[in-house]
A and B are shown apart, each in its own frame.
Chain A
Amino acid sequence: MKTYMKLAWRNLWRNKRRTIITVSSIFIAVLLSALMKSMQEGSYDGMVDMAVKFYSGAIQVHKDGYWENQRLNNSLRINDSLIDALESSDHINFYTPRIESFSLASSENLTKGVMVLGIDPERENQVTKVKSKLVEGVYLDQNDEGVLLSAGLAKYLKLNLNDTLVMLGQGYHGVSAAGKFPIRGIIKHPNPEFNKMLVFMSIGQCQMFYSAEGLLTSFVIMVDDYAKIPKIQHSLIKSINTNEYEVMNWEEMQPVLVQQIESDRQTAVIFKGILYLVIAFGILGTIMMMMSERKREFGVVIAVGMQKFKLKTVVFLETILIGFVGTIVGVIGSLPVIWYFYKNPIPLSGKSADAIIEYGFEPVMYFSMAPSVFLNQAITIFVFTAVIAIYPIYYLGRLKVINALRS
């Protein structure tokens, strides 16, 4: 095999200019598609982070049926066996209880529907790092009677630090919920939609507001590795009473986001498919020329005793090597470019930014350095070149030694 590899490698460079042109075209294809893939995956990571890190967590535990019917009446009561299950799981970094509902919030003549999150301030900060989003004022204490307002909401209601927020809503079992809350701080939530509608309060205060003492709507769980989410979810399902609770991962809770990412991925596959097809024809052209130029040489080596399958192995290796060299050069070339954008995401402005904000995402173009960004290109080129390698194999299969020698 070593000899065939040596032969293939030397054959590759017998027409340096042609090989360099082919390798360059693969390099450009790899660079473009790696950039595109990196941008896509970076954006998806940003979207998922937005959804998971700043709100839903990786997994949530609810009372069974809560997600279908998200009402306070479907809330759960804290239970030792549930806490034990959460504490004993290896891959759960943090978990936090929440009570979540809606209410009307007012100031003077302005009213707006808001999302109220009753949180354990310390635990919530471990999961969603909400404290770091504070732009004014102070963070909540454990039994704080005040609230944190998202910046967009504060702006809409024209409220400032230490002003009073009035809320009116429906509590547990239809009880009226009404209260006045001093504003302790203003938070800038990275999700533009949430930034217009979030009110945080301590969990005790929130339970009191909704007359739901001892009740929670969810446990929000953060894990050490997203890839382990299904495994952790499965182990939680096994360790708690599933007649009483439901355990959902972020993908189940946000199917629209998952669908959006999937459909975007499919569109990109078509685009990259066209790009690679153009490159594949370029490689095929090179291989066809190479085969045609060496017809006589093939005849000679078969005449002197080289079996066709050995010759096929050499030309197969040549084809694969072209792809391999192009991919390696492409990956090495795209690494610094993608690294730069990974470290310096592109902030969007104008209409494109508005459109992204409208979808509830941050108007920033992130890039990903995930190994799959590069690995996918290598696999694609390998598959393409392996398919192209069928041509020389077919050509040699049909080659008549005597015709080749006469050529």
Chain B
Amino acid sequence: MNIIEVKKLHKIYDQDTHPVHAVRGVDLNFKEGEFAAVVGPSGSGKTTFLNMLGGLDDPTEGEIMIDSVNINELSNRKKINFRMNHIGFVFQAYNLIPVLTAKENVEFIMHLQGRSKHDRELRTKELLEAVDLADKLNVRPNKLSGGQQQRVAVARALASKPKFILADEPTANLDSKSAANLLEIMEKLNREEHITFIFSTHDQRVVDKARRVITLDDGMIKSDVQV
């Protein structure tokens, strides 16, 4: 069953002055439980595509249906709520809230969702255990390594029980060991809990783990291969 349906997606920057066609008529579907990588050279439109998929940027043309909802038709406020409940984000630069501990960072979204304290604490513990950080509950991001921060970011992304996780270059700032460790955790979550992961990446290690590789070039799909 498709959880994401992308139809004739276009994105043109500076349409009136110096138009740059970042995404050109992309048609794609993603099924539940996929572990997919969007690859391509710099400027191929990977990040733009992922941003539109996450409702962070608006397409110039086309539509994105997530769980049968056209996210581009949602108001800003509804779109924020939709993201909170349906999409998990992992960013290249981790982007944890520096003044919150690992536990509080993971709890943050659940707090926004209005979940009970008991529920939040239970899930936070479960998630930080899943990313092997059960002993770092009360540590702030500046006391964690890059790999540890990115694992907290993955736990945070999973906290809201999203339909899928969008990870933009998640291993770009990590050393090989941390990257391998992170990938292993994400792969395990995908395999055992059927969590859908969509990556944009340059990293061959991510591509090697992916079961579907979509190659973008000049804003268009060059290939879409099931591994």
The smallest beta-carbon distance between B86 and chain A, in angstroms, is 10
- CB contacts (< 8 Å) of A11 on chain B: these are 99
Report whether over half of chain A's contact residues are helix, strand or loop; otherwise say mixed: helix
Whole-angstrom CA separation of A14 from B156 in the bound complex: 22
Q: How far is the CB of B210 from chain A (nearest CB, A)?
A: 23
Q: How far is the CB of B214 from chain A (nearest CB, A)?
A: 21
Contact B100 A7 (CB under 8 A): yes
B54 in contact with A303 (CB, 8 Å): yes
Contact B77 A300 (CB under 8 A): no
Q: Tell me, yes or no, whether B139 is within 8 Å of chain A by CB.
A: no
The reply to whether the CB of B80 lies closer than 8 angstroms to some CB of chain A is yes
- Tell whether A401 pairs with B56 under 8 Å between CB atoms, given A307-B81, A310-B112: yes
A305 touches B99 (CB 8 A): no
Q: Mark B33-71, 1 if CB is under 8 A from A, else 0.
A: 000000000000000000100101100000000000000
Chain A: residues with CB nearer than 8 A to chain B? Answer: 3, 7, 10-11, 14, 296-297, 300-308, 310, 401-402, 405
In the bound complex, CA of A179 to CA of B57 (Å)? 102
Give the CA-CA distance A310 to B77 in the complex, in Å. Answer: 12
- Which residues on the B side are within 8 Å of A302 (C-beta)? 80
Interchain CB contact under 8 A, B81 and A297:
no
B81 proximity list for chain A (CB < 8 A): 305, 307
Q: Are B95 and A305 in contact (CB under 8 A)?
A: no
**Which chain A residues lie closer than 8 Å to B93 at the CB level?**
296
- Which chain B residues lie closer than 8 Å to A310 at the CB level? 112
Contacting A at CB under 8 A, from B82-134, are 83-85, 89, 91, 93, 95, 97-100, 108-109, 111-113
Name the residue on A nearest B94 (C-beta).
Answer: A300
- Say yes or no: B98 contacts A300, CB within 8 Å: no
Contact at A7–B99, with CB atoms within 8 Å? yes
A11→B100 CA distance, assembly (Å)? 9
Ranked 5 nearest A-B pairs via Cβ: A305-B84, A10-B99, A300-B95, A402-B57, A402-B56
A-B contact pairs, 18 of them (CB 8 A): A7-B97, A296-B93, A297-B97, A300-B89, A300-B97, A301-B97, A303-B89, A304-B84, A304-B109, A304-B160, A305-B81, A305-B85, A305-B160, A306-B80, A307-B112, A310-B112, A402-B57, A405-B51
Please, which residue of chain B has its CB at the minimum distance from the CB of A307?
B80
Interface centre among A3, A11, A301, A303 (most CB of B within 10 A): A303
State A302–B87 Cα separation when bound (angstroms).
Answer: 12
Instruction: Tell me the bound Cα distance from A7 to B99 in angstroms.
Output: 7
Chain B residues in 8 Å Cβ range of A3:
111
Q: How far is the CB of B113 from chain A (nearest CB, A)?
A: 8
Q: Which of A10, A304, A308, A402 contacts B89 (CB 8 A)?
A: A304
Q: Smallest Cβ distance from B222 to chain A, in angstroms?
A: 25
